[in-house]
Chains A and B, each alone.
Chain A
Amino acid sequence: MSTEFRGQAPIPYVSKLSDYYGAMGHPPYRWTVNDAAPLRPLPRPVRECRVTMLTSGGISLCAMPGFDPMARNDHRLDAIPADADSDDFQIHDAYYDHRDADRDLNCQFPIDRLRELRDQGEIGSLAPRFWSGFMGRIYDRSRVVEESAPAFVAELGKDEVDLLIAVPA
């Protein structure tokens, strides 16, 4: 597939972010580097699966407080009703340019498209809740692995989720 690619080379985010945070006086970020990954095969075809989606892009319902755009170590996690109106969201995150997503949430968090795929039968069902949290600049990653991520996964279990679509930003 990649041989067809005609665009620019991928941006070197690791060096750019190290420079950016270094210039702000933050301690050097110790990047997580893993040599192996776990893999849980999907238990059934996607058209029979229950699916949900998680964004880390500082996206919240207008009825909720905005995320802190400069947050560090923010473990806030919002549950979002799966029937939420895509025009009823706000985005607060200084980390990336979200002007396009401000106009159409679906270019970063495509909840309308997911509902269409469900309605067309390409996805079995959607979980009752989508999710927003785990914003960038989390320095206490052991707390993610030991506390916040397992708590989140327990909620996915309550919703009987088969597949999580994760969209980092």
Chain B
Amino acid sequence: MGLVCRVAEESGISTVCISTGRDLTAQVKPPRSLFVNFPMGNAFGRPFDRDMQLRVLRAALALAEGATEAGVIVDLPAAWPQPFDFNPGAPGG
């Protein structure tokens, strides 16, 4: 996905990536990334949490408008209320 953003940007289309995997994003280096430290699959928060969904979107839009540094990763100052892990192939996938 970061690669797609890079290709878009090289073709003249601005991008902002909303990432839940900070180390993955740091490797690929999309042009602009908002890191949301929520579980993968919950990039915009919990179901029906309209306020958080809007907050993440607005932070991404502000980053798209304001970023001047290529490859920047901005951390959304929000925390998931419970500990979480990543288990690919587990129930729910």
Contact = CB atoms under 8 A, between A and B. Distances in A.
Interface string B69-90: 1110011111110011111111
Contacts of B61: 46, 117, 122-123, 163
Contacts of B86: 11, 13, 16, 96
Contacts of A161: 13
Contacts of B18: 165-168
Given A122-B61, A163-B15, A107 B40 contact: no
Interface residues of A, number: 74
B35 to A, nearest CB: 7
Main secondary structure of the interface of B (DSSP, over half): loop
Interface residues of B, number: 77
Contacts of B43: 107-108, 167, 169
Nearest to B21: A13
B1 A166 contact: yes
Interface of A: 1-2, 4-8, 10-14, 16-17, 20, 31-43, 45-46, 54, 56-57, 69, 93-101, 103-104, 106-108, 110, 113-114, 116-117, 122-123, 134, 141, 144-145, 149-150, 152-153, 156-157, 161-169
